[in-house]
């Protein structure tokens, strides 16, 4: 047995792993990523780590530390929505990209633009699995803009886009990275240890993230559609319209669908990993651009999920993000219009509420002497002012109870 890494030990003991893959990516074979019950990607150490690998993981793993938002001091910072230079809604102008994309196809259009115009040599993101592993989300390095269409759409299952990061840094090419907010945080933190990160990854894009459900969650969706998970050869969580439907296809030609609200609200959201419930930056605050669903609010103030032409919220956070978006706008591959912070509150009410409760939930970790991620500069305390004391208390007590019962 190798000497256990203190960093990996703390993150696994605290159930703080988000599955980003960075530890495996930097450990040169000493850490493997494996599916662990109930269906999350988790690291398993197979050999000793060097002191440098240990300190990289301790300083970059999003279960232990989170990237600050204020990397570019002149930007405005909202405690719920993070740093921003420009707030927009928009969509890809290519109808196929807009249709296949999760919301407005913005992320895919920006990736295609950056790749097609030589701003980067390849895009690193995850694809939907197929064949025997339709629920897997393998990391891919894509150097053909047309091939990016296959990566479009949100996959509400485990993904580890940093699992090959050291190889990519050695590769010599420049990449655009797309990943969950915690993946981008880990990449930024890695940049504190390896100066090549900034040069080889000139753009990091992300999206708002309601959390990663386990594969058990996806299997429950398939079963509720009346199909057996073992028979399924292709699965989409959404997209093909906005929000589109979850769709499963069996290898013998049967198919079934489920609407977005039932799929996420009725099934997947009940299987989200613990780290997501205390996420201090689920809005991609460390990314150059973060996209999200620009939901239209109904009379109740709650977003409406009827199918429409896709529309993405686009938060431009850094100078690099602004230059990418401006160039894409100038070439007409995306269309955008301005929006404001108050509009985002209406588009994304549950994200705002979630952020306001992070302080209470992490206080429960402190009270039960559990490991917790270090986060400074992501406005957790400021955001907490937005939640009534009653809600804070209920979340503190609820999280404490779950930790004590081992149900987190
Ligand atoms: C787990 C998860 C939770 C989300 N929660 C929210 C939420 O709470 N609120 C909200 O507004 N939006 C959420 N989204 C994002 C939203 O669904 C859209 O991705 C966003 O609106 C951008 O849409 P788009 O059409 O511009 O992206 P697209 O053009 O469809 O591009 C999506 C990009 O994201 C990448 N991607 C998809 N799934 C994953 C994954 N699991 N891991 C890493 N990369 C992935 C794709 O490879 C692709 O590059 C979530 C997405 C995921 C994957
Ligand atoms: S969060 Fe990422 S770096 Fe941390 S243990 Fe999990 S996979 Fe490894
Ligand atoms: S909610 Fe946070 S920790 Fe969970 S997957 Fe999303 S960004 Fe990562």
- pLDDT tens profile 16-65: 999 999 999 999 999 999 999 999 999 999 999 999 999 999 999 999 99
Residue bearing the CA closest to ligand 2, atom 6: 17
SS3 34: strand
- Average pLDDT estimate for 158-181: 97
What pLDDT is attached to residue 301? 57
Tokens of 215: 């594969």
- pLDDT tens for 362-388 read 999 999 999 999 999 999 999 999 999
pLDDT at residue 139 tops 70:
yes
What pLDDT is attached to residue 302? 63
Tokens of 99: 């249709």
- 102 alpha carbon to ligand 1 midpoint, in Å? 6
Question: Is the CB of 112 inside a 6 Å radius of any atom of ligand 1?
Answer: no
Contact 223, 248 (CB under 8 A): no
Q: How much is the mean pLDDT over the chain?
A: 95
- 42 alpha carbon to ligand 2 midpoint, in Å? 7
What pLDDT is attached to residue 297? 78
What pLDDT is attached to residue 298? 61
| Ligand 3 neighbours by CB, cut-off 6 Å | 18, 180-182, 209, 211-212, 275-276, 279, 282
Residue linked to tokens 């999920």: 305
E-strand stretches of 79-237: 82-84, 86-92, 122-126, 139-142, 175-178, 203-207, 232-236
Task: Give the closest ligand to the alpha carbon of residue 96.
Answer: 1
Question: Is the CB of 400 inside a 6 Å radius of any atom of ligand 1?
Answer: no
pLDDT at residue 111 tops 70:
yes
- pLDDT tens for 203-256 read 999 999 999 999 999 999 999 999 999 999 999 999 899 999 999 999 999 999
- 19 alpha carbon to ligand 2 midpoint, in Å? 5
What pLDDT is attached to residue 300? 61
**Residue 213 per-residue DSSP state:** B
Question: Is the CB of 152 inside a 6 Å radius of any atom of ligand 1?
Answer: yes
Query: What number does the ligand 3 atom closest to the CA of 276 have?
Result: 4
Domain segments of the chain as ranges: 76-213+271-351, 215-270
Contact 57, 193 (CB under 8 A): no
Residue bearing the CA closest to ligand 3, atom 3: 276
SS3 43: strand
Query: What number does the ligand 2 atom closest to the CA of 21 have?
Result: 7
Question: Is the CB of 85 inside a 6 Å radius of any atom of ligand 1?
Answer: no
Contact 125, 111 (CB under 8 A): yes
| Edge-to-edge order in the sheet of strand 255-259 | 232-236, 245-250, 255-259
Contact 149, 108 (CB under 8 A): yes
- pLDDT tens for 301-331 read 567 788 889 999 999 999 999 999 999 999 9
Distance of alpha carbon 257 from alpha carbon 236, whole angstroms: 9
Length of the chain: 408
To test the pocket of ligand 3, the residue of 60, 205, 275 to mutate (highest count of ligand atoms within 8 Å of its CB) is 275
- 169 alpha carbon to ligand 2 midpoint, in Å? 18
Query: What number does the ligand 2 atom closest to the CA of 20 have?
Result: 2
Report which secondary-structure segment, H or E, holds 363: helix 358-367
Distance of alpha carbon 92 from alpha carbon 107, whole angstroms: 8
pLDDT at residue 79 tops 90:
yes
Report which secondary-structure segment, H or E, holds 8: helix 6-13
What pLDDT is attached to residue 197? 98
Percent of the chain with pLDDT over 70: 98
Task: Give the closest ligand to the alpha carbon of residue 63.
Answer: 2
- 182 alpha carbon to ligand 2 midpoint, in Å? 10
């Amino acid at each position: 047995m190798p000497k256990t890494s203190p960093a990996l030990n703390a993150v696994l003991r605290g159930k703080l792993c988000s599955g980003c893959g960075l530890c495996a990516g930097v450990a040169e074979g000493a850490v493997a990523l494996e599916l662990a019950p109930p269906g999350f990607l988790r690291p398993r150490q197979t050999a000793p780590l060097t002191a440098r690998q240990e300190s990289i993981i301790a300083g970059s793993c999003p279960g232990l530390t989170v990237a600050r938002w204020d990397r570019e001091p002149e930007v405005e910072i909202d405690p719920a929505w993070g740093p921003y230079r420009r707030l927009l809604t928009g969509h890809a102008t290519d109808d196929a990209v807009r249709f296949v994309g999760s919301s407005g196809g913005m992320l895919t259009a920006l990736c295609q633009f950056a790749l097609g115009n030589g701003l980067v040599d390849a895009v690193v993101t995850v694809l939907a699995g197929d064949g025997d592993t339709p629920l897997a989300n393998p990391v891919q390095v894509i150097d053909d803009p047309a091939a990016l269409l296959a990566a479009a759409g949100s996959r509400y299952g485990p993904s580890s886009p940093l699992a090959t990061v050291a190889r990519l840094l050695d590769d010599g090419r420049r990449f655009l990275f797309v990943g969950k907010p915690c993946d981008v945080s880990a990449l930024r933190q890695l940049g504190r240890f390896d100066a090549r990160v900034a040069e080889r990854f000139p753009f990091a894009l992300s999206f708002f993230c309601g959390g990663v459900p386990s594969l058990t969650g996806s299997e429950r969706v398939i079963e509720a559609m009346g199909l057996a998970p073992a028979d399924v050869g292709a699965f989409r969580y959404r997209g093909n319209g906005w929000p589109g439907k979850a769709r499963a296809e069996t290898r013998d030609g049967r198919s079934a669908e489920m609407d977005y609200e039932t799929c996420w609200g009725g099934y997947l959201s009940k299987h989200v990993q613990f780290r997501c419930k205390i996420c201090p930056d689920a809005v991609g605050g460390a990314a150059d651009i973060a996209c999200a669903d620009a939901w239209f609010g109904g009379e109740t103030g709650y977003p409406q999920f009827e199918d429409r032409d896709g529309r993405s919220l686009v938060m431009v956070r850094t100078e690099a993000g602004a230059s990418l978006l401006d160039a894409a706008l100038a070439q007409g591959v995306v269309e955008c219009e301005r929006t404001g912070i108050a509009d985002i509150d209406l588009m994304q009410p549950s994200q705002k509420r979630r952020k306001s409760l992070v302080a209470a939930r992490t206080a429960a970790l402190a009270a039960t002497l559990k490991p917790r991620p270090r986060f400074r500069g992501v406005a957790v305390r400021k955001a907490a002012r937005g939640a009534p004391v009653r809600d804070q208390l209920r979340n503190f007590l609820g999280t404490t109870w779950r930790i004590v019962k081992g149900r987190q």
